[in-house]
Structure formats: structure tokens, C-alpha cells
Amino acid sequence: MLGMGTTRELPSILIIDDDMVSREVMATVLTMTGYTIHTAAQGELALALIDEGGCSPEVILMDAQMPGLKGTGLVRELRARSKAAIYAMSGSDVSEDLKKAVDGYLFKPFNPQALQQLIEKHHAPASIANLQDAPVIKAETLAQLRAMMSPAAVREIYAAVVNDLNKREAALQQSLAAGDSGAIKMIGHAIKGGASMAGAMQVSQVGALLEAGGDQLDNVPALLDQLKVAGDKLRRMLDAEFPPKG
């Protein structure tokens, strides 16, 4: 669901939980998804891990009720050492003070999808502002395809991506008009996957943004504009690299 292979840099996560089973289950699920995971059984151990350079987390998941340093006191110490987003986890209600101190919270038990969605909501794979930094086509992927097949066959692959993109853009417009955020996220996921396989980086990143933020309908029109720009660039590069015959 979250992985984009080499096209997406996933945030590193520090899990702080005194319950070994909860800690290990979360670590296993997120490691399998592609995240770099560090764990600590207590708040004091988490601080020591950061102080010693054992990890530099971008996301911290902390249990709301643990022995020793916990709650707002732990959040304060973590903030002093890290710029990570901090999320509290609890099996009961979270105090108002803690709610204000953290960036979000989850109630136990929660499924892996809820955890992944929370992380994706706050850690989008890219932003519109830096899409221009990504290559239109990843050079390594293009070189591999050239080595494996004829220029005509390579052109067919990218032509298929372009043609699929036309259909996806129309479907996105329809889904936006209907206010169907679920469909938008699914279409974004499909765009991301297909374009990523072909090394179409800018298209893939817009697809990832649609998947992660499709529930924020006000932002979708801007992403549709960026998808059109990325698609146009891909078409122009296709014609430049593999001029159509005749």
C-alpha cells in the first residue's frame, strides 16, 4: 500500500511501548511495508537511543501509559531532541494535555491500515513544489529497457503509460465531480504503480500524492493540473527519444 520502491523515501519510525507484543507486531508490520524501524520499551530508553545516535526518527509512536517517563513529559523531552512527528497510542481515552502535545493519536487496538493511513496523512511522498526536481523518466530504467528490447518495443511501453494516463485523468475528473475520495485514492495508487514500473517519475509522484491525499478534495484539482503537466512532459520525451515513424 505504501511502498514505491526507489521512488519513495519512507520515514524512519521509533516505536516506544512497554508491551512487547504490541511493540513487535507494529515493528514487524511496518518493516514488511518498507519502513526503517527502531523500538524502545521505555521513554528513558528511547531518549538514550536518540542521544547516542542510534536513530534519527521522522515519526515517533509512543504509548500513552508506560512506567517511568511518559505523557507530556516524554513528549517534551522528545521534542527537545528530534523534529519527528509524535503520535500517542492508548487503549483508553487520551488526556487533553497529551492531545495538545502530540501531533495525533490512535486508540488500541488498531489495524495496520489505520496506522499506515495516519503516517501517510502526515508524510506525503512528495509535494507539488518539488515535483520539478524529479526526472521525467528515470535514466536507469530507460537504460535497462533499451538493453532488453528494441526501440520500438520500448516506445510501446511508454505509449501504453501515456494512453492509460488519458483514461485515468478522465476517471479522476468523474470521481472528483462525484466527491468519491475512495475512487481518487485507488486511481492514484494505480497511476503510481504503473508509472513507477516504467520509471516515469513525475507521473508516479503525482499518483502517490493522489493516493495519499485523495480524501482532501480541495487539493485534487491542483494535483490534476500537475498530472496533466507530468503527462505532457512524458509525451514530449517519448517523441524526442523514440520519434514515431512515418
Give the range of the structural domain holding residue 161, as residue numbers without chain letter.
128-241
75: confidence class by pLDDT, cuts 50, 70, 90: very high
246: confidence class by pLDDT, cuts 50, 70, 90: low
% of residues, the chain, pLDDT over 70: 87
Q: Above 70 in pLDDT, residue 87?
A: yes
Q: Do 70 and 36 reside in the same domain of the chain?
A: yes
Interval 152-157 mean pLDDT: 89
Count structural domains, the chain.
Answer: 2
- The last residue of a domain, from among 99, 122, 145: 122
Can you tell me the distance from the alpha carbon of 196 to that of 64, in angstroms, rounded to the nearest whole number? 38
C-alpha cell, 191: 497511476
Q: What is the mean pLDDT of the chain?
A: 84
Identify the weakest region by mean pLDDT among 23-32, 115-124, 149-158.
115-124
Which CATH number goes with the domain that contains 168? 1.20.120.160
Backbone angles phi, psi at 38, to 5 degrees: -125, 150
Q: Which of 11-25, 38-52, 200-214, 228-242 has the highest mean pLDDT?
A: 38-52
pTM: 0.51
> 139 vs 133, which has greater pLDDT?
139
* SS3 per-residue string spanning the chain: CCCCHHHCCCCCEEEECCCHHHHHHHHHHHHHHCCCEEEECCHHHHHHHHHCCCCCCCEEEEECCCCCCCHHHHHHHHHHHCCCEEEEEECCCCCHHHHHHCCEEEECCCCHHHHHHHHHHHCCCCCHHHHHHCCCCCHHHHHHHHHHCCHHHHHHHHHHHHHHHHHHHHHHHHHHHHCCHHHHHHHHHHHHHHHHHHCCHHHHHHHHHHHHHCCCHHHHHHHHHHHHHHHHHHHHHHHHHCCCCC
Q: Do 52 and 149 reside in the same domain of the chain?
A: no
Q: Do 168 and 102 reside in the same domain of the chain?
A: no
Identify the weakest region by mean pLDDT among 12-16, 111-115, 157-161, 215-219.
111-115
Q: Above 80 in pLDDT, residue 7?
A: no
- The last residue of a domain, from among 73, 92, 122: 122
6: confidence class by pLDDT, cuts 50, 70, 90: very low
Confidence (pLDDT) at 104:
84
Confidence (pLDDT) at 128:
57
Strands 85-90, 37-40: pairing is: unpaired
